[in-house]
Structure 1
Amino acid sequence: MNLRLQEKKIFFASDFHLGAPDEKSSRDREKKIVSWLNEIQDDAAAIFLVGDIFDFWFEYDQVIPKGFIRFLGKIADLREKNIPIFFFTGNHDLWMKDYFTKELGIPVFQHPIEVTVEKYKFLVGHGDGLGPGDNSYKVLKKIFTNPVCQWAFKWLHPDIGMRIANKWSSNSRITNIAKNENDFKGDDEWLWAYCKQVEQSKHFDYYVFGHRHLPLNLPVGNKARYYNLGEWVTHFTYGVFDGKEFEIKKYGV
Structure 2
Amino acid sequence: MQIPSGKKVYFSSDNHLGAPTNALSKPREEKFVKWLDEVQQDAAAIFLLGDLFDFWFEYKHVVPKGFVRVLGKIAEIKDSGIPIYFFVGNHDLWMDDYFEKELNIPVYHKPQEFTFNEKKFLIGHGDGLGPGDKGYKRMKKVFTNPFSKWLYRWLHPDIGVPLAKHLSVKNKLISGDEDAKFLGEENEWLAQYAKRKLETKHYDYFVFGHRHLPMKIEVGKNSTYFNLGDWISHYTYGVFNGENFSLEEY
Query: What band does the TM-score fall into relative to the shorter chain?
Result: over 0.9
1:158/1:113 CA distance change after superposition, 3 Å:
same
2-side partners of 1:156 and 1:29: how far apart? 30
Aligned ranges for residues 54-133 of structure 1 at < 5 Å?
Answer: 54-133=53-132
Secondary structure of 1:247's aligned partner: strand
Mapping for residues 92-241 of structure 1, pairs under 5 Å: 92-173=91-172, 180-186=178-184, 187-241=186-240
* Native 8 Å contact 1:4 1:45 kept in 2: no
Q: Is the 8 A contact 2:236 2:248 kept in 1?
A: yes
C-alpha distance in structure 1 between counterparts of 2:218 and 2:173, whole Å: 31
Return the letter of the residue paired with 1:184: F
The one-letter amino acid paired with 1:241 is: F
Partner of 1:32: 31
Identify the residue that residue 247 of structure 2 maps to in structure 1: 248
How far 1:221 moved relative to its partner?
A: 1.1
Deviation, 1:6, is 1.1
User: Cα deviation per residue 1:38-84 (whole Å; 9 max; x = unaligned)?
Assistant: 11101100000000010000001100000000001101110111110
Contact 2:175 2:233 in 1 (8 A): no
Judging changes above 3 Å, is the alpha-carbon distance between structure 1 residues 174 and 240 closer, same or farther for their aligned structure 2 residues? closer
Higher helix share: 1
Q: Report the CA distance between 1:174 and its aligned residue.
A: 7.3
Q: Does 1:14 align with 2:23?
A: no
**C-alpha separation between the residues in 2 aligned to 1:121 and 1:73?**
31
Size of the alignment, in residue pairs?
Answer: 248
Tell whether the 8 Å contact from 1:10 to 1:46 is kept in structure 2 after alignment.
yes
Which of 2, 5, 12 does residue 4 from structure 1 map onto? 2
Give unpaired runs (5+ residues) of structure 2.
none
SS class of match (1:173) = coil
Q: Alignment partner of 2:226: what SS?
A: strand
User: CA-atom RMSD, angstroms?
Assistant: 1.3
CA displacement, residues 197-221 of structure 1 (integer Å, 9 cap, x when unaligned): 1111111000000000000011011
- Calculate the TM-score normalised by the size of structure 1: 0.95
Q: Distance in 1 between matches of 2:175 and 2:77?
A: 34
Q: Distance in 1 between matches of 2:123 and 2:34?
A: 24
Q: 1:150 & 1:181 partners in 2: Cα distance? A: 28
Identity of aligned residues (%): 55
Kindly provide the amino acid, as one letter, of the partner of residue 13 in structure 1: S
Letter in 2 for 1:70: R
| Aligned counterparts of 1:239 and 1:25: Cα–Cα separation in 2 | 25
Tell me how far 1:170 sits from its aligned partner: 1.5
CA separation in 2, counterparts of 1:115 and 1:30?
Answer: 28
- Does the alignment pair 1:49 with 2:48? yes
Shift of 1:175: 9.4
- Is this contact kept in 1: 2:174–2:212, CA < 8 A? no
